[in-house]
Chains A and B, each alone.
Chain A
């Protein structure tokens, strides 16, 4: 058992070392086996752990602790390198390796033409290694190793195509913003050690359980840890790195910025559930931040035209959903949504990658359209994912969102209403994306439309597997009122038992009829938004049908150059008459399309002063003092040696003379003194 658990993170690390050292020498075919292969084996081992869970785990605590060695020993304090395997970590391990494996397989197809193929899989394997360390860790320090490591891999993978300076800037931005959050995390860790004297989860939680609710030190600890989560999971105000991170290859966006790394913050808060339920003030703050983020990201997403940016803001919004669930104490709901989100968001990203691949790099949805017939597999899987994220039954997203909304409703109605508003926005912008991409006629250029082709099997099979999971994954946790067994809830119950017991947040008992009414209401509202999106973007009214005709005429004009010029111009004329409806260009729309200028504000307030300070320090301190000291030392040595060399004039008699003087002095000092 210990060997299995040790191998689970070690295999991806091995994959990284092999692929990293042989990044030029290993042939692509071999790398395509090693890269996904290690993840597959880790997944099989994780599944084995799950299956043997009941028989081998300590039933009382349902955890399995492994202590490897005393890693840091400072006097009386020793921090061991340990793993803690309990249902929560098993769930995360399965998600990471399972979804990770599918994305690796997809990448074999997506990155097949890239010369950095081996390097890509090396970094991806390294990322999986660090993420596994994060979730398997038994104390906060081991978690922090994984925390930092995934931040590093995120930087490496976002800036994967490093020849482009803009991508490098995006990678730097991601890493630096992560770092800001990490500062909070570190401070929280130090405070934990100062208060509890240990970093180990069991030790901390046992001691925390007896503290009174709302004690100041717990509020401080949880707030600081939450700052770390804000940076890692892209909440307000540290979220602007995530849309820019779309500069990396699409599989990277799928794995890191949808399914795993950004969920590390959620995992951390869920793991520290005991600490958080005893700090209601922090829970309130988490709730406020998550609601604000949810709405802001959803609004910005409506106005974005890049397919990946819409998905990025969608991720931010869905993460806010998970944090909202955590803030009302619905830990299982948050983890359930994390799981289903991993499925459908990865599917959305991979599908977007398939579309981008088919359109030879086009990412602007205003230039897409009509791909329903040309990319059938991508179309159907994308549709399933969009239905799932909108939360329509019986797909997985419905069950997870419904659980969160039910918990929020039991806590406070106004929160629930805002959360429903965000749900409606989610449905709207996702279906806007869907309709603009796949319906209507192709608005791209003629050379593009000729080359459209469905992706190869190595890319579409993972799409289909993920679609299956997005469809049926929700059945893992059907709530009781619908007659389900709530398997996931029971599975995770031992982990959250203490947190749930100590939770003192208001919790109304909602009658069953009211719950059904809520569910019906939500479904109705979501369907309304879907139809509204269809009306605006999917259905073609008269103007747009004329535009489609204009496009067809334009294509005919391309074919017949001379006589066709007149027909093409006629087509352009009609096209100008009816444009794709950009949502009315009033002030709010322009603001939202430009992401409310948050990036520009950060740039002016933080980045420019920092760069100015750096420049000033360079001019005044670096050049004048430090450079002078360093160069001066060298110049001093040279001048001294220039003087000294006159001692060697080549005159042997002088050498003999100095030798005898030296001997006399030695004798003098030894014998006389």
Chain B
């Protein structure tokens, strides 16, 4: 316990925030749908890390339990997202989101 608490919580906060922002920027800028999915995963994992850190610092296991739930949801979501991307590639031959613009007026 003391090994973990020797690092101030602010370090974890800043790390996770930076990771989250990288994830957001990745979602906004990247054109490859797979990379967007990966960025979303990055965001989720940064939150997981933060939750685990808070849980360690307040000696409350609830945070870690919540991390488990989030991992399950992330796994399910990635499975579905990858399936959708595979289908899109099969039907249109591209996963560049700038090319996939049929959902318009």
Q: Which residues of A contact B (CB under 8 A)?
A: 645-646, 648-653, 656-657, 660
Given contacts A656-B27, A656-B28, A660-B24, contact A648 B98 (CB under 8 A): no
Contact A653 B31 (CB under 8 A): yes
Cβ–Cβ < 8 Å partners of B27 in chain A:
656, 660
Contact B104 A650 (CB under 8 A): yes
Q: Which of A645, A646, A650, A657 has the most B CB atoms < 10 Å from its CB? A: A650
B102 beta carbon closer than 8 Å to chain A: yes
* Chain B 20-70 residues near chain A, CB threshold 8 A: 24, 27-28, 31, 36
Contact B104 A660 (CB under 8 A): no
Which of B24, B28, B98, B105 is close to A651, meaning CB atoms less than 8 Å apart? B98
* Chain B 64-105 residues near chain A, CB threshold 8 A: 97-98, 100-105
Which of A648, A653, A656, A660 is close to B103, meaning CB atoms less than 8 Å apart? A648
Complex Cα distance, B36 from A657, in Å, reads 12
Cβ–Cβ < 8 Å partners of B31 in chain A:
653
Complex Cα distance, B24 from A649, in Å, reads 22
Complex Cα distance, B57 from A74, in Å, reads 69
Q: Which B residue's beta carbon lies closest to that of A659? A: B27
Which of A653, A657, A660 is close to B98, meaning CB atoms less than 8 Å apart? A653
Given contacts A657-B28, A660-B27, contact A645 B105 (CB under 8 A): yes
Cβ–Cβ < 8 Å partners of A645 in chain B:
105
Given contacts A660-B27, A660-B28, contact A652 B104 (CB under 8 A): no
Complex Cα distance, B104 from A648, in Å, reads 5
Contact B105 A652 (CB under 8 A): no
Contact A653 B104 (CB under 8 A): no
Smallest CB–CB gap between B93 and chain A, Å? 17
Complex Cα distance, B103 from A648, in Å, reads 8
Smallest CB–CB gap between A415 and chain B, Å? 86
Starting from the known contacts A651-B98, A652-B100, A653-B31, 4 additional A-B residue pairs (CB-CB under 8 Å) come to A650-B103, A651-B104, A652-B101, A660-B24
Complex Cα distance, B74 from A366, in Å, reads 100
Complex Cα distance, B31 from A649, in Å, reads 16
Cβ–Cβ < 8 Å partners of B24 in chain A:
660
Q: Which B residue's beta carbon lies closest to that of A663? A: B24
Contact A652 B97 (CB under 8 A): yes
Cβ–Cβ < 8 Å partners of A651 in chain B:
97-98, 101, 104
Chain A contact residues: helix, strand, loop or mixed: helix
Q: Which A residue's beta carbon lies closest to that of B102? A: A650
Cβ–Cβ < 8 Å partners of B101 in chain A:
649-652
Ordered by A's residue number, 23 sampled pairs between the chains whose C-beta atoms are within 8 Å are: A645-B105, A646-B105, A648-B104, A648-B105, A649-B101, A649-B104, A649-B105, A650-B101, A650-B103, A651-B98, A651-B101, A651-B104, A652-B97, A652-B101, A653-B28, A653-B31, A653-B97, A653-B98, A656-B27, A656-B28, A657-B28, A660-B24, A660-B27
Cβ–Cβ < 8 Å partners of B98 in chain A:
651, 653
Complex Cα distance, B102 from A78, in Å, reads 67
Smallest CB–CB gap between B31 and chain A, Å? 7
Smallest CB–CB gap between A9 and chain B, Å? 62
Q: Which of B36, B101, B105 has the most A CB atoms < 10 Å from its CB? A: B105
Smallest CB–CB gap between A529 and chain B, Å? 88
Cβ–Cβ < 8 Å partners of B104 in chain A:
648-651
Q: Which A residue's beta carbon lies closest to that of B29? A: A653
Cβ–Cβ < 8 Å partners of B100 in chain A:
652
Cβ–Cβ < 8 Å partners of A656 in chain B:
27-28, 36
Cβ–Cβ < 8 Å partners of A660 in chain B:
24, 27-28
Smallest CB–CB gap between A602 and chain B, Å? 61
Complex Cα distance, B101 from A650, in Å, reads 4
Listed from nearest, the 6 A-B pairs whose CB atoms lie closest are A650-B104, A650-B101, A645-B105, A652-B97, A648-B104, A648-B105
Complex Cα distance, B27 from A651, in Å, reads 14
Q: Which B residue's beta carbon lies closest to that of A657? A: B28
Smallest CB–CB gap between A311 and chain B, Å? 72
Complex Cα distance, B35 from A653, in Å, reads 13
Complex Cα distance, B39 from A656, in Å, reads 13
Complex Cα distance, B103 from A660, in Å, reads 19
Cβ–Cβ < 8 Å partners of A648 in chain B:
103-105
Complex Cα distance, B36 from A650, in Å, reads 17
Complex Cα distance, B79 from A600, in Å, reads 87
Complex Cα distance, B26 from A656, in Å, reads 11
Cβ–Cβ < 8 Å partners of B97 in chain A:
651-653
Smallest CB–CB gap between B7 and chain A, Å? 26
Q: Which B residue's beta carbon lies closest to that of A645? A: B105
Complex Cα distance, B29 from A652, in Å, reads 11
Q: Which of A648, A649, A652, A660 has the most B CB atoms < 10 Å from its CB? A: A652
Complex Cα distance, B98 from A649, in Å, reads 11
Cβ–Cβ < 8 Å partners of B103 in chain A:
648, 650, 652
Complex Cα distance, B104 from A646, in Å, reads 9
Complex Cα distance, B28 from A646, in Å, reads 20
Smallest CB–CB gap between B84 and chain A, Å? 12
Complex Cα distance, B36 from A656, in Å, reads 10
Q: Which A residue's beta carbon lies closest to that of B96? A: A652
Cβ–Cβ < 8 Å partners of A652 in chain B:
97, 100-101, 103
Complex Cα distance, B101 from A587, in Å, reads 90
Cβ–Cβ < 8 Å partners of B102 in chain A:
650
Complex Cα distance, B30 from A657, in Å, reads 12
Q: Which of A649, A653, A657 has the most B CB atoms < 10 Å from its CB? A: A653
Q: Which A residue's beta carbon lies closest to that of B105? A: A645
Complex Cα distance, B105 from A652, in Å, reads 13
Complex Cα distance, B25 from A656, in Å, reads 11
Cβ–Cβ < 8 Å partners of A646 in chain B:
105
Complex Cα distance, B97 from A653, in Å, reads 7
Smallest CB–CB gap between B15 and chain A, Å? 20
Smallest CB–CB gap between A578 and chain B, Å? 89
Complex Cα distance, B105 from A646, in Å, reads 7
Complex Cα distance, B28 from A652, in Å, reads 10
Complex Cα distance, B72 from A355, in Å, reads 95
Complex Cα distance, B40 from A660, in Å, reads 12
Complex Cα distance, B31 from A648, in Å, reads 18
